Chain A
Amino acid sequence: MSKLLSIRNVGKSFGGLHVLHDVSFEVPAGSIYGLIGPNGAGKTTVFNLVTGLLPPSAGAIEFQGESLVGLPPHKITHRGVARTFQNIRIFKEMSILENVMVGMHDHLAYGGLGLFFNTPAYKAAERRARERAFELLTWVGLAHKAELVADNLSYGDQRKLEFARALATEPKLLLLDEPVAGMNPSEKTALMEEIRNIRDRGYGVFMIEHDMRFVMGLCDRIAVLNFGRIIAEGTPEEVRSNPEVIEAYLGKEEAA
């Protein structure tokens, strides 16, 4: 499998606090990759580095063989990296349809003037964007609510909207930050299906997740982060049987 995202010897420190040390792993295309680890291990920091919200202190981050380091976040999105947040960040004051359309940047020029002159190019671009937004909303099962203000959605539906919105940017790699947080078991099962579905459509999926059953059941490969270091990497079976992992992470959970 070709590698989509490659993280090599990445370090990050805030002042004197070292959050990540020498982190290296690769996310292949067409697979689901999981990053797990205890609270405070530095997982969300990894996401912030990949999406350009923070610069790494050391190391290289490459996407499809090209460096992402130093690019502003919107350019990284344009390269094909999309992300959802641990605490949902949909645009609550906008309609559900608008939430999805806002991510369609490359496909719908900023041009405000087209509207006033009602140009054919403007109308065509707007119509294509609406159609594509409806496709994505249909896929996550929210098409019938498209005109509602997003604030009205239930928690589970807000997560689905975040998915549709992330996919609207036409990513090649989807970063999911704790996608099942706050979901009940049936919602989790449904989401698992959807994530497999996303992978099978050819996207790469890279997720942070606390729910061990979810991660082990879903991911093709897993990296384990503990105190800012990768302590294990491999298939779920390999990771599950790694003594260091059991001690650092699983062991604690069993004891709890």
Chain B
Amino acid sequence: MLEQQLLNALTLGSVYALFALGFTLVFGVLAVINLSHGAVFMVGSYVALALVTQLDAPLWAAMLGAALASGGLGLLVDVLILKPLRVRNAPHLIPMIATIGVAIMVTSSSQGLFGAEIRRFPEETLPAADFMVGAVHVRVLEIAIVAIAFLLMAVLFITLKRTQLGRALRAIAESPKAAYLMGINVEGLFHVTSFVAAALGGIAGVLIGLDFNAITPQMGQPILHKGIAVIILGGMGDIRGALIGGLFLGFAEVISKAYLSSQMGDAVAFGLLFLILLVRPSGLFGRVLERKA
């Protein structure tokens, strides 16, 4: 029934949105399509799993640990790979290709370290509480996932809109050169952005890991494709667009799985996406991107 599916869609969509948010933030500020974002997401869920199973950490601490680990990985990618390319004024495709290399390295290392099989959080570590709202079966876990995703998105949104840090990031997004000459530490904020975006991606990984309770080294790949779809749908670099696009994709996927074909959920969701792009080629909130060096 519909209400139950809407709850599932909201849960999935809010995680997609959170994932896409980090992705679009890096694109907006660094002007790089960072294709290692899916691998960073996968690392987040493994780190949380390891903290829970090896150290008996509570879930909140595992999530914090995952955010730090993923954020650290994102920072490392920026310092070791993206920065040298920026210094050399590498053309736009080069950093994107380099991040594909990062994704492959991280994915295959995880496979070597953790094995290719599906890993799960032990049942007793997950919040088991649930209740009925009318005919809808609500898990507390789902409520927590939606709440965490929306809280993080709200904090990011307000930071960008209302703080000096946010003004500085928006200035860089428009023109790094002019931002530098306003006294903004552009390189430093590239690092901060890379860390925050990857930390959000890592938390999204933990949330998906909890929702489906299935963690594999390959789990970053499908969500990366969805993340690309979401930010193209929402408008590249647009924060609101990532939110709306993520929710849209979650709803399209869940509803088409439930009512059309359980096998073809992705096909229908991506088909809808093509239709929208035919009507609005620059995405829902897209504008023609003109960025000065």
Contact = CB atoms under 8 A, between A and B. Distances in A.
B165 interface: yes
A116 B155 contact: yes
Interface string A137-173: 0000000000000000000000000000100110000
B181 to A, nearest CB: 5
B164 interface: yes
A214 interface: no
Given A51-B181, A105-B182, A110-B165, A94 B155 contact: no
Interface residues of B, number: 26
Interface in B167-195: 167-168, 170-171, 174-175, 177-187
Contacts of B186: 73-74
Interface stretch (A2-10, A20-28, A33-41, A83-91): A83-91
Interface in A69-90: 72-74, 77-78, 82-83, 85, 89-90
A65 interface: no
Contacts of B170: 91, 93-94, 98
A83 B179 CA distance: 11
B184 A115 contact: no
Contacts of A89: 175, 177-178, 292
Nearest to A110: B165
Contact of B183 (A98, A115, A169): A169
B286 interface: no
Nearest to B156: A112
Contact of A115 (B162, B174, B175, B292): B162
A152 B174 CA distance: 16
Interface residues of A, number: 37
A165 B174 CA distance: 15
A74 B185 contact: yes
A105 B49 CA distance: 41
Contact of A73 (B175, B181, B292): B181
Contact of A91 (B155, B175, B187): B175
B187 A72 contact: yes
A199 to B, nearest CB: 21
A77 B180 contact: yes
Nearest to A92: B174
A77 B179 CA distance: 10
Given A89-B175, A91-B171, A112 B182 contact: no
User: Which secondary structure dominates where chain B touches chain A?
Assistant: helix
Contact of B159 (A90, A112, A168): A112
A93 B169 CA distance: 12
Nearest to B162: A115
A94 B171 contact: yes
Contacts of B164: 101-102, 104-105, 108-112, 126, 129
A115 B163 contact: yes
A53 B158 CA distance: 31
Given A94-B167, A110-B165, A103 B182 contact: yes
Contacts of B185: 72, 74
Given A91-B174, A91-B178, A103 B183 contact: yes
A54 to B, nearest CB: 11
B72 interface: no
Contacts of A74: 180-186
Contacts of A247: none
B236 to A, nearest CB: 14
A254 interface: no
B155 A98 contact: no
Contacts of A53: 177, 180-181
Given A89-B177, A102-B164, 11 more contacts: A72-B187, A74-B183, A74-B185, A77-B183, A91-B175, A92-B174, A93-B174, A103-B182, A112-B166, A115-B159, A116-B155
Interface of A: 51-53, 72-74, 77-78, 82-83, 85, 89-94, 98, 101-106, 108-112, 114-116, 126, 129, 165, 168-169
8 contacts: A78-B183, A89-B175, A91-B170, A94-B174, A101-B164, A112-B159, A114-B163, A129-B164
